[in-house]
Amino acid sequence: MRFVVLLVLLTTAASAGPLDVKKTLAKAEACGVSADALAPLGVVEKVETIAKRSENVVVQLVGKKARGYLVWGETCNVVPVVGKPVAFVKGNFGGGATAAYALFGGSAETGVNVVSLKSGDKLLDVLVFPEDCTNGMSLSKRTVFAGRDSIEASCFASGGADVGRSDHILDAGDGTLGVLLSVFAGIAWVQIPETDKSPYCTARSPGGIKIVTTGDKPVLEGTTVATPEEAEAAKADRQAGGCEQTVITRRFELAGKTFKATGKPRVWLARKLCSCRKQ
């Protein structure tokens, strides 16, 4: 994934009232949810819909010991609300929401991340995150719109020593937490030392999201590593994976309820990306 602009839409309305516990658990078992996954919750006493979320996407399980979120998919997962969250942030997120929590459930291979929105102890919404963040998440408060805070969620994943990062702007201005803009920021490449005495260096991810203007018509910039085709079109000497990398920046303006790329993208060379230490 490089640039993604989307508005999270709910295709079906949430059901009114609690759902059938026995039927829900039987469906979950058929979808791969084990007894071990449910164990942190204790005996499940209630199954509830969450805000406007479809009951076919995510529901809340209320157990004797704890709560959890049951996320439906090709492989279903339980995200228990126990212990420390992966990340959290406080702010004024609109609709009375004052805190957001990133949580993880399942295995490293098939797990799922969610971001919940709360007002005190009251659950307001749960967003099933669009990526697998196998190396964790971070949440930070950002000012995008007038009168409320938005959230920047960074998702970390890797296939080895090199960790990739994607950044996402989340907002709940309409009462539902959604992803407004996603950018693949790049990979923090570990540099191979030239000699036994060369320093050990790691290049940070060169991209990300920059907030240019805020208010009723905010403007954002998204930067990611340029492809060979993009560098060639800009007549730029492409560099990738090192302490200097060729990147591309696009400008995004609010159009209705989502951000759209506008204008001509800019290809440039990001420098001084490495931090080093002696071996």
Q: What is the tens place of the pLDDT at every residue in 25-68?
A: 999 999 999 999 999 999 999 999 999 999 999 999 999 999 99
What per-residue confidence (pLDDT) applies to 279? 76
pLDDT tens for residues 128-148?
998 989 899 999 999 999 999
Q: Which of 18-22, 65-69, 194-198, 252-256 has the lowest mean pLDDT?
A: 194-198
What per-residue confidence (pLDDT) applies to 164? 94
Number of domains within the chain: 1
Residue range of the domain that includes 137: 3-277
> Is residue 225 predicted with pLDDT exceeding 60?
yes
pLDDT tens for residues 60-105?
999 999 999 999 999 999 999 999 999 999 999 999 999 999 999 9
> Is residue 205 predicted with pLDDT exceeding 70?
yes
d(Cα 275, Cα 135) in Å, to the nearest integer?
20
What per-residue confidence (pLDDT) applies to 193? 85
What per-residue confidence (pLDDT) applies to 258? 83
Residue with tokens 């302490």: 243
**For 258-275, what is the mean pLDDT?**
95
